[in-house]
Amino acid sequence: MTFEKDGFILLKGVFEENYLSQIRSKIDELIAYSQKELLDPLDEHFLKHRVDNGVLYDVYQRHPFFRPMAENPVLLDEVEKILGANFYLYVNSLLYKPKSKNNEVPWHQDFLSRPNESEKILTWMAIDNATKENGCLKVIPGSHKKGFRDWYRVKGATHHDRIKIDDAELQNASYVEMKAGDVLVFSNYLIHSSDENNSDLPRRAFRAVFKKLDDAKIPRGAPIMMRSNLNLEKVGQFKTEQKSTAKKLLNRIGNYLSTI
């Protein structure tokens, strides 16, 4: 299995059980707190949580106990091999897929609605064992090679952006069962999905997405550099054209529209 050939790699045993059990109890507290739907003082800065669907957004910024996960050096070394020495945290979320909540995720590629941005690398960190029964990820190996596919949006659906995929390609789909502590690193061009959690077992995962600093586009908030090599010769490469106020406003509207 190589990232180039398959579009993903599986890192085994990145997080130890001791550490994961602490994270799990923190997550239990966090979910119980989020379910109370209290007034959120951070609301204007971050995307609204989707508690029922099992997605809590921007947990890296909101809850410091997630930071060591996204900053794990083994994981960042792998990302650095793909993206180079300068990359930032693009988005992040806790995906806890509660039981029997119609939380199947259809076949898609990530960030389909932002075709002009460079590749993003996803790291999907298993906090529990992820199995066929509790809705582990499914992938189509090698599907990243053709870039973005034709896609459509189902308005109002939780996972609204889907791709058109033919049966021949679906034959190659495989489940990625993971042990708690494993991390799947994959390209945003990789076609993936997951089934509903029909088991009594939790399926919690932390998802952190990274992007190269070829520009500093980010859906919300401000970029957080995760690795940064201040090589003076290279700094000039990042110089971008001055954007007019109108262009900045259009970007903001575009980013907002892609989240609804």
Ligand X SMILES: O=C(O)CCC(=O)C(=O)O
Q: Which residues bind ligand X (CB under 6 A)?
A: 95, 97, 105, 110, 122, 124, 135, 192, 194, 205, 207
Residue closer to ligand X, measured from CB, 124 or 210: 124
What three-state secondary structure class fits 134?
Answer: coil
| Minimum separation from the CB atom of position 236 to ligand X (A) | 34
Q: How far apart are CA 231 and CA 244, in angstroms?
A: 28
Angle value at C-alpha 218, between 137 and 120, nearest 5 degrees? 40
Residue closer to ligand X, measured from CB, 135 or 181: 135
Residue closer to ligand X, measured from CB, 31 or 122: 122
Angle value at C-alpha 224, between 58 and 232, nearest 5 degrees? 165
| Minimum separation from the CB atom of position 124 to ligand X (A) | 6
| Minimum separation from the CB atom of position 246 to ligand X (A) | 32
Residue closer to ligand X, measured from CB, 71 or 195: 195
| Minimum separation from the CB atom of position 178 to ligand X (A) | 11
Which pairs count as long-range contacts for 151-155, CB under 8 Å and 24+ apart, including other chains? 151/108, 151/109, 151/112, 153/113
Report the residue number whose CB is nearest to ligand X: 194
Q: Which residues lie below 8 Å from residue 238, measured CB to CB, with a gap of 6+?
A: 86, 213, 214, 215
| Minimum separation from the CB atom of position 39 to ligand X (A) | 28
Spell out the SS3 assignment of 18-60: HHHHHHHHHHHHHHHHHHCCCCCCCCCCCCCCECCCCEEECHH
Residue closer to ligand X, measured from CB, 97 or 149: 97
Which residues face 125 on adjacent strands? 183, 206
| Minimum separation from the CB atom of position 237 to ligand X (A) | 29
Q: Which residue has the tokens 């993003």?
A: 120
- B/e letters for 181-218, b = 16+ CB within 10 Å, e = fewer, are bbbbbbbbbbbbbbbbbeeeebbbbbbbbbbbbbeebb
Q: Which residue has the tokens 């399926």?
A: 203
Residue closer to ligand X, measured from CB, 192 or 227: 192
| Minimum separation from the CB atom of position 74 to ligand X (A) | 20
Residue closer to ligand X, measured from CB, 66 or 124: 124
